[in-house]
Amino acid sequence: MAESNFVDYVKIYCRSGKGGRGSAHMRRSKYIPNGGPDGGDGGRGGHVILRGNRNYWTLLHLRYQRHIFAGNGGNGGANRCFGKDGDDVYVDVPCGTVVYNAETGDYICDVTEHGQEVILMRGGRGGLGNWHFKTPTRQAPRFAQPGEPAVELTVVMELKLLADVGLVGFPNAGKSTLLSKLSAAKPKIADYPFTTLEPNLGIVPYRDGKSFVMADIPGIIEGASEGKGLGLRFLRHIERNSLLLFMIPADTIDIQAEFDILMREITNFNPELLDKRRVLAVTKTDMLDAELMEEMEQHLPPIPHVFISSFTGQGLLELKDLLWRELNEESNKLSSSVDAIVHRNKLHLEEELREEGEDIDITPVDADDEDEELDEDFDFEYIDDEEDDDDGGK
Ligand SMILES: Nc1nc2c(ncn2[C@@H]2O[C@H](COP(=O)(O)OP(=O)(O)OP(=O)(O)O)[C@@H](O)[C@H]2O)c(=O)[nH]1
Ligand SMILES: [Mg+2]
C-alpha cells in the first residue's frame, strides 16, 4: 500500500534541544578591575511538541519526515546575559494520534483534541552562570553549570480514527454501501471482497442538525487478528469508536456463528473492545421476506438489532435512531471513552513493521557533532587546579 494517501503509521527520530551552558565570565572594566562573577545562565533547549490539528486527517505530511530536531539553547554571556532559549518544534498531527516508543513499544502519549499540545520531549534546562555560585568565602567562582543534554528517541506515531460508530463485518457485508447511503462519503463499492482497502469516514446527519461520525473499515475475516486478510492493521481504527455496529448479510446461513467469529477476532486484537456497546444490523434484507425475517429473529445474538437494506432504505431510520440512542447512553459518551481507552504497548511492533514494509532504517544523527563548534565561543575561564572542583553545587 505504498502509494496510498491514507497514512496511519509513521516512524520518526526526534531530538529535543540541549540546554545552553552557564557562563563563567568575570567582570572586568576600566575602573573595576575585580568586578566579580557576572556570567549569565544558559537558555533552555527547545521542546518537541505535538499539536492536535483537525485539518489533518492522516499522517501523510509526516511520511517523509524522518527526523525532527528542536533548537539548542544558547550559552549564557557576560554581564549576566541569558542565553537564548532553543526553538520549540511544533508537529501538527491529526486528532487521534497515539505515540509509542519505537524501541520498547511503550505507549507515550495521545493527542485527541484540536489545539491540544503535548510536550513529547523536553529540551534540556540551561546551566546556571557563575554568579549564582558566589559566596562570601568564594568570591570568584571560575566555573558555571553546563546545560542539560538533549533527549532523543525514535517514536512511532499511529493514527486511530476518532469516530462514534465503527462498522465491523466480513468483506462484502455492505458496510461501504451503508456509509454511502447515510453520509456524503463516497467509498468504493463492489461485489467482491476487500473492496475497501483503507478506512473511510462519513458524517451521518441526524434530526435537528445533530450528527455523528461513522467509520467504515476493511472487512474482517477469521484469523484477522493474526494477520490474515488485511490483518490487524485496520482493527486499531475501531479501538476508539464508542459503538461497534456489526453488519451481517441476511443471506448468511448462521448469523450467530459469524457474529462469534467477528467477536473473537476483535477480542483477540484487544480485549478492551469487549467493553464497547454493540449493535447488530442484518443487511441486505431486500432479499428476505417478512416471514423469513421473523424466523431469523429468534436466532440472533442477544444485542440490539435492526434489519436494514441500503438498497430500499428499509430500516435505515430505525438504525439511526438506535445508534443515536446508544451513543447518548451516559456510559457511552465518546469523550469518556477516549479518556478511558487503554492503549496497549506495541509488543507486536516488529511484526507490524515488517508487514507494513515500513522498516526503513532511521540512523540517529550524532548529537555530539556540534559540540566542538559551540564550545569555541564559550567564554569559560578555566579554574586553576588547586581551587574547588567543578561540581557546580553551592
Ligand atoms: N441486495 C443488496 N445488496 C447490497 C446491499 N448493500 C450492499 N449490497 C451489495 O453488496 C456488495 C458489497 O457491498 P460493499 O458495500 O462494497 O461491502 P463492504 O462490506 O464494504 O465490503 P468490503 O469493502 O469488501 O469489505 C455490493 O455489490 C453491493 O451492491 C443491500 O442492502 N441489498
Ligand atoms: Mg467496503
pLDDT in tens, 30-50: 998 889 999 999 999 999 999
Question: How far are the Cα atoms of 60, 77, 155, 255 from residue 247, in angstroms, in the given order?
Answer: 30, 68, 35, 10
Cβ of residue 199 lying under 6 Å from some atom of ligand 1:
no
Q: What percent of the chain is modeled with pLDDT above 70?
A: 82
Residue 121 confidence (pLDDT): 95
Mean pLDDT of all residues in 79-86: 95
| Helix (H) or strand (E) segment spanning residue 177 | helix 175-182
Q: How many domains does the chain have?
A: 2
325 has a pLDDT exceeding 80: yes
Residue 148 confidence (pLDDT): 96
The answer to whether position 386 is within a domain reads: no
More confidently predicted of 299 and 14:
14
The answer to whether position 3 is within a domain reads: no
> Could you tell me the residue range of the domain that residue 66 belongs to?
9-159+361-376
| Euclidean distance between CA atoms 346 and 156, whole angstroms | 10
Residue 135 confidence (pLDDT): 94
Question: 143 and 276, same structural domain?
Answer: no
Residue 198 confidence (pLDDT): 87
Residue type, 386: E
3-state secondary structure of 132: helix
CB atoms within 10 A of CB 324: 17
Q: Calculate the average pLDDT of the chain.
A: 83
Q: Which atom of ligand 1 is nearest to the CA of 194?
A: 24
Alpha-helix residue ranges (DSSP H) falling in 213-309: 255-269, 290-297
Residue 389 confidence (pLDDT): 41
Residue 83 confidence (pLDDT): 95
What CATH number is associated with residue 253? 3.40.50.300
116 has a pLDDT exceeding 50: yes
Question: 28 and 86, same structural domain?
Answer: yes
Cβ of residue 189 lying under 6 Å from some atom of ligand 1:
yes
**Cell numbers at residue 93, please?**
498531527
DSSP string, 341-380: --PPP-TTHHHHHHHHT-----PPPPGGGGHHHHHHT--P
Question: 261 and 120, same structural domain?
Answer: no
What is this structure's pTM? 0.75
Residue 136 confidence (pLDDT): 94
Question: 86 and 15, same structural domain?
Answer: yes
Least confidently predicted of 164-178, 193-207, 326-340: 326-340
The answer to whether position 137 is within a domain reads: yes
Probe ligand 1: pick from 175, 177, 245, max atoms within 8 Å of CB? 177
The answer to whether position 389 is within a domain reads: no
374 has a pLDDT exceeding 60: no
Q: Which of 212, 219, 161 is nearest to 188 (CA)?
A: 219
* CA angle (56, 173, 188) in 5-degree steps: 45
Least confidently predicted of 9-23, 159-173, 278-292, 318-332: 318-332
Residue 222 confidence (pLDDT): 86
Residue 134 confidence (pLDDT): 94
More confidently predicted of 393 and 169:
169
Alpha-helix residue ranges (DSSP H) falling in 241-357: 255-269, 290-297, 316-327, 334-340, 349-356
pLDDT band, residue 383 (cuts 50/70/90): very low
Q: Which of 6, 83, 93, 96 is nearest to 48 (CA)?
A: 93
Question: 188 and 234, same structural domain?
Answer: yes
Q: Which of 102, 69, 7 is nearest to 361 (CA)?
A: 102
Q: What percent of the chain is modeled with pLDDT above 90?
A: 53
3-state secondary structure of 225: helix
More confidently predicted of 327 and 24:
24
Question: 217 and 81, same structural domain?
Answer: no
Question: 266 and 176, same structural domain?
Answer: yes
pLDDT, one tens digit per residue, over 216-255 is 988 888 888 777 877 667 888 888 888 999 999 998 888 8
The answer to whether position 346 is within a domain reads: no
CA of 172 to the centre of ligand 1 (A): 5
Residue 378 confidence (pLDDT): 41
345 has a pLDDT exceeding 80: no
Residue 333 confidence (pLDDT): 53
114 has a pLDDT exceeding 70: yes
Residue 301 confidence (pLDDT): 87
Mean pLDDT of all residues in 65-90: 95
The answer to whether position 352 is within a domain reads: no
Question: 194 and 150, same structural domain?
Answer: no
Residue 40 confidence (pLDDT): 95
Question: 153 and 130, same structural domain?
Answer: yes
CA of 307 to the centre of ligand 2 (A): 19
264 has a pLDDT exceeding 80: yes
Residue 299 confidence (pLDDT): 83
The answer to whether position 205 is within a domain reads: yes
Question: How far are the Cα atoms of 2, 102, 103, 235 from residue 345, in angstroms, in the given order?
Answer: 25, 10, 11, 15
Question: 305 and 371, same structural domain?
Answer: no
* CA angle (247, 253, 257) in 5-degree steps: 65
The residue whose CA is least distant from atom 10 of ligand 1 is 174
Question: 206 and 276, same structural domain?
Answer: yes
The answer to whether position 270 is within a domain reads: yes
Q: What is the DSSP letter of 288?
A: S
Residue 347 confidence (pLDDT): 57
Question: 119 and 204, same structural domain?
Answer: no
Cβ of residue 311 lying under 6 Å from some atom of ligand 1:
yes
Mean pLDDT of all residues in 277-290: 89
What CATH number is associated with residue 77? 2.70.210.12
